[in-house]
Structure 1
Amino acid sequence: MKVLVAGGTGFIGSNLCEELADRDHEVTALSRSPDDGSLPPGVGSAMGDVSAYESIAETVADHDAVVNLVSLSPLFQPSGDATHEGVHLRGTENLVRAAEDGGVERFVQMSGNGADPNSPIEFIRTKGEAERVVRESALEWVIFRPSVVFGDGDEFVGFTKLVTTPYVTALPGGGKTRFQPIWVGDLVPILADSLEGDEHVGETYEIGGPEVLSLADVTKLAYEADGKSVTILPVPLSLAKIGFTALSPVPFVPFGPDQARSLKMDNTIADNDVTAFGRTEAELRTLGSYLGLERSPPDEAEREVV
């Protein structure tokens, strides 16, 4: 199968390209600035910007399947001229149009957990609007809504350390916002499986890891891996929102009101659809294991913030 991975040079994309190449698919990574040297062996590259239809139409038409991984970060404000609407919604519209015009059969869309076209949070709203575009298409589509993804080259653990300090640190709401992080090495085989066979067509899958961790839990794990401890001091979410909003115009501060709103919402999965791909949560890698820590999921007592 000839597969085009839009966003194929990114964190998840490069891992997926390698997985697909290992399965003997003919894989091309689509990027605005492709770097062949950063791609796995056997993976080709193509230049294109999903926000500009003419730059991608010919490339898309030459493939059997498209995986759309192009996304802005939910953790940071968009930089430059990029907008959530331009990247998530218009980009998806262009990829879907190019796929329909070019005779592509399968279309896999990477959405986000909680995607909702009525959300006040731009990342979540535009992800929800993009899902609607995919569902209304004539393509054989599959949609994934993962919680946060971790692994080599991710931004999740790095973001946690960016907004905290070792030993003593403050977190909005005491860091009680919950996540269900999934290792990229567990996620990409699931994405690849959705391209092979027809049983997943027309389905939307919510995917998470084997444990639920609060932001405080993740912070403690990140510093424990560095041989450091940390005590969490709570900051009221209302004050955090005021601070993020006030700092949002400052170029070197990557947070804004959307990030403050996001901290009011848990990023967890009600029914983990990894089972639809023959996997169980018990088989998935924990964040602690990835960080080199042998640790079971924290119990409720451990979650209490002093």
Structure 2
Amino acid sequence: MAQLVTIFGGSGFIGRYIARRMAQEGWRVRVAVRRPNEAIFVRTYGVVGQVEPVFANIRDDASVRAVLQGADAVVNCVGTFDWRGRNAFEAVQAKGAGRIARLAAEEGVGRMVHISAIGADPEGPSRYARSKAEGERQVLEAMPTAMILRPSVVFGPEDNFFNRFAGMTRISPVLPLFGGATRFQPVYVDDVAQAATLGVTGRAAPGIYELGGPDAETFRGLMRLMLKVIRRRRLVVSLPYAFGWAMAAGFDLLEAGTAGLLHNGVLTRDQLKSLRRDTVVSEGARGFAELGIAPSAMEAILPGYLWRFRPSGQYAEIQESAKNLRER
């Protein structure tokens, strides 16, 4: 019988790519999510019955144990940007990750891949960074041979980075940024999935890997690249952190005052703290080179999904070609 991998968060942005690759490897894939009915699409990644969404709540031991039974490997892709509530940083990225690793060890699961983030640091400035570091610590305590992947900003068709800012250009002539000089090293989602697959199948050594694409660029530079891809002219403005702090504090207080009914999906104080640090691969860190993977360049991927934000959408390139013919 084919080997079985349980992927927590397997219908999410990164998880779905790992699930697809593992199905292509011939493994049975158990996609553990809070809402299986919303993850039915993962079934199409393999033959009938090969990929199945199942219910799991990483805050509950019995729920996690149930979906780990019989698994040969486990992948944890669950993360959050929530700073409050039952699914806040510590509950999901620290305790949740630790729970998965501890129960995986108890159930005799052979391998574990844990998706963390560049910037994970027990002394980091943000709760997000500290919770990621605590999650790593708990994972390695329970599963010392786990593979931990620390990607920079992840991009791809379903991302909430380039898509978010490209969407803003439809309604605003200005792109306001906080941390415009902060450097990122965006990595393509399927390259992260390929790295995870190597860990699950045992074709890569355990340990920590920092994953960044071939190019490191400032936040401001990334927005200018995005504008070039979508054929729009917008003013990119870097705003002072003081203004950002007042704005983020206001949104946080509004969320807290409404008991979460009005969710702060704009800017939190914790996100602002994170923006003060570069998110690039550390010097000397293991990464794609050690895994034998050539990471994809942004210029090769972004046009394939950001075209819908162009003024003429999918016809932009046709119109440009026609214009060149008329000029000749």
TM-score by length of 1: 0.86
Answer yes or no: is 1:147 the counterpart of 2:152. Answer: yes
Bigger Cα displacement from structure 2, 177-186 vs 79-88: 79-88
**SS of equivalent residue, structure 2 residue 109:** coil
Q: Is the 8 A contact 2:40 2:53 kept in 1?
A: no
What corresponds to 1:213 in structure 2?
A: 217
What corresponds to 1:276 in structure 2?
A: 290
Matches of 1:270 and 1:139, distance apart in 2: 22
Answer yes or no: is 1:291 the counterpart of 2:313. Answer: no
Give the deviation of 1:222 after TM superposition.
2.5
Mark the structure with the bigger radius of gyration. Answer: 2
Matches of 2:129 and 2:165, distance apart in 1: 20
Percent of matched pairs sharing the same residue: 28
Give the deviation of 1:137 after TM superposition.
1.5
What corresponds to 2:241 in structure 1?
A: 237
Give the deviation of 1:4 after TM superposition.
0.6
What corresponds to 2:104 in structure 1?
A: 99
Q: Is the 8 A contact 1:61 1:101 kept in 2?
A: no
**SS of equivalent residue, structure 1 residue 45:** strand
Give the deviation of 1:139 after TM superposition.
5.1
Q: CA RMSD in A?
A: 2.0
**SS of equivalent residue, structure 1 residue 140:** coil
Per-residue CA shift, 1:121-144, capped at 9, x if unaligned?
111101100111111124531111
Of 17, 20, 23, 2:22 maps to 20
Q: Is the 8 A contact 1:166 1:223 kept in 2?
A: no
Give the deviation of 1:181 after TM superposition.
0.5
Give the deviation of 1:244 after TM superposition.
1.1
**37 and 63 in structure 1: CA distance in 2 versus 1, 3 angstrom threshold:** same
Of 196, 200, 207, 2:205 maps to 200
What corresponds to 2:271 in structure 1?
A: 259
Per-residue CA shift, 1:214-253, capped at 9, x if unaligned?
2112222333333211222221122212221122223254
What corresponds to 1:223 in structure 2?
A: 227
Matches of 1:263 and 1:26, distance apart in 2: 39
Q: Is the 8 A contact 2:178 2:241 kept in 1?
A: yes
Matches of 2:225 and 2:23, distance apart in 1: 33
Matches of 1:243 and 1:191, distance apart in 2: 37
Matches of 2:269 and 2:168, distance apart in 1: 15
**100 and 144 in structure 1: CA distance in 2 versus 1, 3 angstrom threshold:** same
Q: Is the 8 A contact 1:105 1:140 kept in 2?
A: no
Of 41, 52, 69, 1:44 maps to 52
Give the deviation of 1:270 after TM superposition.
2.4
Q: Is the 8 A contact 2:187 2:213 kept in 1?
A: yes
Matches of 2:84 and 2:230, distance apart in 1: 30
Q: Which has the higher helix share?
A: 2
Q: Is the 8 A contact 1:68 1:92 kept in 2?
A: yes
Match of 2:20, as an amino acid? E
Of 123, 128, 134, 1:129 maps to 134
Matches of 2:5 and 2:58, distance apart in 1: 16
What corresponds to 2:9 in structure 1?
A: 7
Answer yes or no: is 1:248 the counterpart of 2:252. Answer: yes
Match of 1:125, as an amino acid? R
Per-residue CA shift, 1:165-214, capped at 9, x if unaligned?
654332224x111110011122211110112236512x111111010122
Matches of 2:7 and 2:263, distance apart in 1: 31
Give the deviation of 1:107 after TM superposition.
1.1
**252 and 50 in structure 1: CA distance in 2 versus 1, 3 angstrom threshold:** closer
Q: Is the 8 A contact 1:160 1:218 kept in 2?
A: no
Residue correspondences, number: 285
**182 and 247 in structure 1: CA distance in 2 versus 1, 3 angstrom threshold:** same
Matches of 1:33 and 1:87, distance apart in 2: 16
Give the deviation of 1:286 after TM superposition.
1.9
Structure 1 residue runs without a partner (length 5+): 294-306
